[in-house]
Amino acid sequence: MIPPVIVTHPLAQIHLTTIRSTDTPCGQFRWHLHRLAEILFMEATRGLGTETVRIQTPLTETEGVALARPIVLVPILRAGLGLQEAILPLVPEATVAHVGIARDEETALPVPYYAKLPAILPEADVFLLDPMLATGGSACSAVTQLKAAGATRITLICVVSCPPGLQAFADQHPDVPVVTAAVDEGLNERCYIVPGLGDAGDRCFGT
> Which residues in this chain contact ligand URA in the complex, by CB under 6 A?
79, 132, 134, 192-193, 196, 199-201
Task: Please state the closest distance from residue 130 (CB atom) to ligand PRP, in A.
Answer: 5
78 is catalytic: no
Question: Of 32 and 153, which has the nearer Cβ to ligand URA?
Answer: 32
From the candidates 107, 152, 171, 175, give the one annotated as an active-site residue. Answer: 107
User: What character string, x for contact with ligand PRP (CB under 6 A) and - otherwise, covers 64-103?
Assistant: ------------x-xx---------------------xxx
Chain positions 147 to 166 lying near ligand PRP, rule: CB under 6 A, are: 165
| Measured distance between the N- and C-terminal CA atoms of the chain, rounded to whole angstroms | 36
DSSP letters spanning the chain: -PPPEE---HHHHHHHHHHH-TTS-HHHHHHHHHHHHHHHHHHHTTT--EEEEEEE-SS-EEEEEEESS-EEEEEEETTTHHHHHHHGGGSTT-EE-EEEEEE-TTT--EEEEEEE--TTGGGSEEEEE-SB-SSSHHHHHHHHHHHHTT--EEEEEEEEE-HHHHHHHHHH-TTS-EEEEEE-SEE-TTS-EESS-S-HHHHHHT-
Annotation says 46 is catalytic: no
Whether 125 sits among the annotated catalytic residues: the reply is no
**Is 138 an interacting residue with respect to ligand PRP (CB under 6 A)?**
yes
* Binding partner of residue 137 among ligand URA, ligand PRP, none, CB cut-off 5 to 8 Å per kind: ligand PRP
Q: Which is nearer to ligand URA, 85 or 199 (CB)?
A: 199
130 counts as catalytic = no
Q: Return the active site residues.
A: 103, 107, 199, 202
Binding interface with ligand PRP (CB under 6 A) = 76, 78-79, 101-103, 108, 110, 130-139, 165, 191, 199-201
